[in-house]
Chain A
């Protein structure tokens, strides 16, 4: 069964350092999402891609976060510099098309900022 892949699974960093997360969606899925899930809360959308184009990044803190999906396949989310409040689970999801199609989630990257 096809799955969304993410790496690393765990990342510990010190504040002010740069971190990067990678996501490989299910093959053929045009839409890719990055969510942030703070402990005890539901996931919140950070950015949505349709192929290589950003569809929604209204909740992405653009002063420190960036995301790219250069060839419309895998994607990287970067934080520079990391802050203590960035400690969370970063989830990647993909769907075949945009709209009402089911979103499939990866295992997530758990980030701890010290």
Chain B
């Protein structure tokens, strides 16, 4: 069964450093997303991406965040200058046109720890 692949599974970084979280969505999916889950809290929407541009972003997704689909397969989330409060599990997801049967397919997540 096709998967959404995220790397790394766990990243520890110092406050103020830049991090890039990587995702390989399912190849025939058209819609791509980043969500995050702070420990003990519910999952929150960050950004959606379609046709090589951001289609929607949340208030969380400020100027410190950016997304790219640099080569038509990878989908990356960059945090320019990490803060302690950026520590969370970050999920990439993708969806085919029309949603398919299940809608979203999520990656297994990247746990980001900012120290």
| Physical interaction between A and B | no
